[in-house]
Each structure stands twice: as structure tokens, then as C-alpha cells.
Structure 1
């Protein structure tokens, strides 16, 4: 690891330590790319992950916000998976029950196509406002449309006058470089309304580091948190952290926070607030970072050897998952169309598009009946059972590997 003169975006401390670098990766991994030529010549940027020695926050200090695009062509939904939908609906019901969300005003920051806030509004008879530049009108028709408002823009200071009983932000904070300023803006928007509940869901950095999941590190994800660093960020910006937990095979990290200091006291750490169970110290986070560094090369070489072996045996290999994990897996390993010709995705909107950076065509599952793959690499182990059933239903029995 090497020290750099870079102020931490979470706490402002200097001396972040770079521990992982990848050059020339696609700056967007889930934009709909309509030609192989466009995919092969997709704009690239660099990744230089650095850890803060003061708070444990991890940031891509090489990130350039101007390079990423969040438009209607940004297609990150997982809503075509029965496994994900079951989780998503259960999460919505859990939040409704946990926080008595009935007849309440709800804001979702980074609502994507609007599926989650639509569920919260429908299932709890609530009113909702969703912010996201990638929102597409009509993707989720709802009988509660008159209680839903969508603003196709990034949330920021210009919208701080929107008030709510419940503020939700799912899988968005990891895309934001200046996390301290963002969370401070959310706190200022609440003001002195001490009853407001704040819920964030983000990828769990412990999962990434301890599983050496280099395929979960991609350009759009410029910010990475453990329980400890996430709690420290919220406390430093005037929140009282009530709960921290993980879900989805520990891949997702959740936080419940409430305004704990007056808006005028933001920036001071919560004096006397006790840490919750499971909060990693900075020392523990740096130990996980060292573990990742020590095991990364072996994990990468293991996958390169497997792919080379299948190619030598003339086996047809496909990825199942035409999203960010697949793009990161292929580009980090430097794989080509000679190694893997296709990526499978159940999202019909992606069918006929191409993987940014490496050019694999994204095909529907039914394509495999004709293609007859020998090996299927599943990009997320959560979906192994679902995908295995789909393969079996098509009369296919390939070797299955999961990341």
C-alpha cells in the first residue's frame, strides 16, 4: 500500500493508503450498448482504491464523476429475477412494519426506475417522491400513481426543502464520491424533525474484501463501507445510528439512523454514543484490506487458469449475468471473445446489447438451448438455485461455477 495526499471524502483526514489499482476499465457497466464496436471502444477510466486511516472509508481516488452517465439507458434493475423480487418485497414489508409506514410521506434518493418506492407506497398506502436521473416513466404502472412523484434528477441541495417521514436510499451512496457532503445534505433537509427515519442500503465492503470479490469493484462504485465506517459517517453528520444489519447473503449493508443533533451541530461526532455490535474498527478494516491485497493475485490467477483450461479443451463458456459484476470480471481478467462469447441475462431489455469493454453479446436464457454451453459461470451465488432450475428446465446440464 502507498500513502497519498488525498483528503478522505467521508471524514476529511489526509493520508489515504492505495491498495488496489486497475487501469482502463469501462466507466459505465450497465448502460445499454447497442453495437459490439461501441462496446469494444467504450470510454475507460482508472480505479485506485484507497483506505482512510482515520475512519476506514474506502474510495476510488482516481474517480472522475464527469465520466459516468446515469440516464434512461442506465439499466441496473434486478427485478426480472424471482429470487431478487422475493427479497425486495420482503424488505419493503419489513420496513413498513418496522417503522409503521402507513399514510406517511416517503422520499427515495436514487430510485432507479421506481420499483421500490412504488412498493412502499402501494403496500403501506403512503405518498412517495423518487429522485433519479435514470428514471423511465411507465416502467412500473401503479394504481397508486396519484400518490407518486418522480423527479428525473440527482438529489442535492436544490431539493433539500422536500420533507418526509421516511427517507430511503438504496444502492446509491456507493456511486457518490463526496459522501460526507451528501449525508450532510440529507441531515440538513430533515432539520429539527426528530421523528424522521433514514434508511440506507449499500454493498457490504466486508463481503468484497473478505471474499476477495474483485468482480464487485467497478468504476461506478467509487465508495465502499463497512458497518463501522458507515456508522462513523452518519454520526459525524448529526445522526444517531439505531441499527446496522446485512442481508442477501451478507452482500448488502443496511443502516437505520435518526437525527440525533440539531442541524446547527452537524459535523460534530455523536458524543457518548455507543457503538453497535459488529461495527468494525479502523484497525479491523485495515486488516481486511491487507487480506484482500494478500489474496487478490491468487484469486485472479485461479480464474485465469480455469478459463485457459476450458479454452484449451474447446469448451463453450458463458457468463450468467450481463451487468456490473460480469463487466468487472471480464475486464479485470483481460478476457476476450475467444474465451467467453456470450453473457446471459434474464432482463429482456438487455437482449441484443453488448458488454462494455469486452464486447460479448448479451443473450436471453432461451438462446442456450441452441448454443449448448459446456460451462456456465454465475456472477452472483445468490442466484445459483434459480439459474440451475432454469438450465434444467431447458434440458441443459453444463458445469456450473459461481463467483
Structure 2
């Protein structure tokens, strides 16, 4: 790991001696905002990721992040529930929460709810009442549902009195987007009007990212990359207690149930001490591993495209878009495949590929399919088999 320190305060603990990890330039500010026109996609704003590590709490964050450059608005699309594999995971989490906390018929508040898919599961499985918040809801999209049990507000969560009183607060894939995560959790803590309320958090797993050298998981809109240690530390500061965060969805996410408590400083906690030490070990080889992975991917791309052969990337999410924007050879790929119908027909920020549905491949007949997220490999292989596409598959 490179030597030296940076003085920008850690987003979790506030300490000012962060160690440099890796720097990546020219990354789209918003990977999950796709464009209706290719020309606009090619002109998408870009920024720099300067990833640093806080040795006090174990947190990883982008010290050059500018929150005022990020605007979540209609067109921002990162729904994953079109995948059967992901739906199974979400359904299992909902059932676990319903059963463990006796939430049937209770009120669930989901911050960053997207189209309300997670809330609908609570409604279907437990007859819960739901309220969701998301500033990226499309104009004209459904903000209430037929039986009146769910309402979505196209705005950010502010903790006003009319937004309180839930039995379960949910923030999935939200915390990593915020430059002031402690303030966000404090707002939720203040909104809780009962010590029996529960907070369910889910974030990308920063330790897994390091262990797997997941270069394509480094995206600008994620200012934070939480480890189990830094997430536990943050929850303690924000007046929550919890069991250690769980690794879920094949190591891709951290999930935790948290409860109102007195504030605590956990720097001497065994989980945090061990977590910080483990993160330090993982960081030692991370930059070199990323460089090797990038070179391997560039070579694979060049080989796949020689002699007029065709290749596509499957997955127009953050991994696929980061991949295409990081490699010169990515410009020679014309299409990205995604099963999310809200992405199809649009264009990738920065690199400009058009997103198409799987059925497009029946005519396009690619020779190689690059899979952005290998957790979906079998699901994608089944789709290709159904379309009688005998392409080579490479996981990025």
C-alpha cells in the first residue's frame, strides 16, 4: 500500500490520518443514470476516485467526492428485482425480518425505495403498511398501490414528524452514497418513536471488494465502502446497538439489524480491532491486483474482438459500466445486455454503448459474452441456452 497520509476527515470517525489506496480518473459521476441519446451519454460528467483507508475505524472512502455534483433524479435506475436470483434473496430477507420482529400488519418505512419492490414484498407476505422515499421516482410512476397499503414519496427522507412512527426502518444500498452517513443515521434515530423499532441496513461489502480485487465496484456515486468494522463503528456513534454485520448475497453485501441505544465509541471492540487489521492486510496487494486484473480484462477484450468477432457485456449496472469506462478496448463493444426493461434502449454514461434486452442476441449472435457480475452466471447461461447462443462466457 502506498505510504503517506491525507488530512481529509474520515466520514465515519472524523480522524484525519487516512492512508492512500488507489486513484482512478475519468469515471462517470453516476453509473446508474442512463441516457436516452448516445451523444448525451458520451458527454456524461466524470470525476476522480481517490480511495483512502482510515486506520482508526477501518473505513474506506473517496476523499475527492463532491456531494453537490451528485443529483439523484428520474432516470436513475438500479433495480435488481428483475433477476430471479436476486428476488429470492430479497424475499428471504423480508421473511426473516417479518418472523424475527413480528412485523405482520406493522408499518415499514423504506428510504431509497426505488419503485417500491421491497415494500411490496412486506405487503404481500405480511400485510404491512409501507411508506417509501426516493427522489429518483419517474414522473407519473405509481406512488400508491391499489389497496392503499403503500405510499411512495418522490423526495428524500427528512425525519419530519409525519414521517415517523415506523416499526421497521429500511435503508438498503443508500448509506454508501452519503458524504455525511452519521447525520443520516442520526435523523433516523431521532425519527424512531419507540425503542422497539428496528433499522435494517444493507451496503456493499468493502472487505469482499478488497479480497476479490473488484476494481469494477469502485464507482463515484459510492463515496463510502463499508467494512464490517466501520459499519459497526458508525452504528455505535449514531446511538444504535447491533450484532456484527452479516455477509449476505454470496459476499456482495453487508446487512445488519440495529436498535436504538446509547451512543458508544467502539474503537477497542474486538470485532473492530480485528476488522481493521484484516483490512490493512487486504490493502497491501490491492493496487497491484487491480492493475493485473485490468490488464487481463483488456487482453481478453482485444482477443474477443479480433477478426470481426462480436462481444457484448451482460449487465448495465455499476460493474459493467465501470468496466466499459476503464478500458480502451471497451469502446469497440457496441451493446450491453440487461434484463431490466427500464434500461433497455438507453445508453451507457461515458462509453456510450446501447443497452438491449436478451432477445436482441438472437439476431446479433455474439461470439463472447462478458458477465459483469459472476453471481448471475448460471441465470445468464440459462438465458443464453434458451436463445440457442453458444457464445464463450467470461466473468469480469
8 Å CA contact 1:216, 1:328 repeated in 2? yes
1:192-231 C-alpha deviation (Å, 9 max, x unpaired): x321111101111111111000111111111111111111
Which residue of structure 1 lines up, in the alignment, with residue 53 of structure 2? 51
| Aligned mates of 2:225, 2:274 — CA distance in 1 | 13
Which residue of structure 2 lines up, in the alignment, with residue 98 of structure 1? 100
Which residue of structure 2 lines up, in the alignment, with residue 232 of structure 1? 233
1:377 to 353, 364, 370: 370
| TM-score for the superposition, normalised by structure 1 | 0.92
| Aligned mates of 2:224, 2:93 — CA distance in 1 | 23
2:344 to 347, 351, 354: 351
Aligned positions, number: 393
1:19 aligns with 2:13: no
What's the secondary structure of 1:349's corresponding residue?
coil
Which residue of structure 1 lines up, in the alignment, with residue 156 of structure 2? 154
Task: Say if 1:238 and 1:127 are closer, same or farther in 2 by CA, change over 3 A.
Answer: same
1:295 aligns with 2:289: yes
1:67-104 C-alpha deviation (Å, 9 max, x unpaired): 22211211111122122122222221121112111121
Comparing 84-93 and 356-365, the one that deviates more = 84-93
Which residue of structure 2 lines up, in the alignment, with residue 197 of structure 1? 198
TM-fit CA distance, 1:336: 3.8
8 Å CA contact 1:160, 1:185 repeated in 2? no
Which residue of structure 2 lines up, in the alignment, with residue 315 of structure 1? 309
Task: Say if 1:376 and 1:140 are closer, same or farther in 2 by CA, change over 3 A.
Answer: farther
Comparing 16-25 and 236-245, the one that deviates more = 236-245
1:46-78 C-alpha deviation (Å, 9 max, x unpaired): 111111121011111111112222112111111
1:399 to 388, 392, 396: 392
| Aligned mates of 1:16, 1:157 — CA distance in 2 | 32
TM-fit CA distance, 1:311: 2.6
8 Å CA contact 1:243, 1:257 repeated in 2? no
Comparing 89-98 and 298-307, the one that deviates more = 89-98
| TM-score for the superposition, normalised by structure 2 | 0.93
TM-fit CA distance, 1:138: 4.1
Q: How does 1:1-400 map to 2 (within 5 A)?
A: 1=2, 2-136=4-138, 138-139=141-142, 142-144=145-147, 146-158=148-160, 162-190=164-192, 193-261=194-262, 266=263, 268-269=264-265, 280-338=274-332, 340-400=333-393
1:235-286 C-alpha deviation (Å, 9 max, x unpaired): 122111134212211101101111121xxxx4x42699x656x984212112
Task: Say if 1:159 and 1:356 are closer, same or farther in 2 by CA, change over 3 A.
Answer: farther
Q: What stretches of structure 1 of length at least 5 have no aligned partner? A: none
Task: Say if 1:141 and 1:346 are closer, same or farther in 2 by CA, change over 3 A.
Answer: farther
| Aligned mates of 2:204, 2:260 — CA distance in 1 | 23
Q: What stretches of structure 2 of length at least 5 have no aligned partner? A: none
Task: Say if 1:279 and 1:134 are closer, same or farther in 2 by CA, change over 3 A.
Answer: farther
TM-fit CA distance, 1:141: 7.1
TM-fit CA distance, 1:333: 2.2
| Aligned mates of 1:28, 1:281 — CA distance in 2 | 30
TM-fit CA distance, 1:142: 4.0
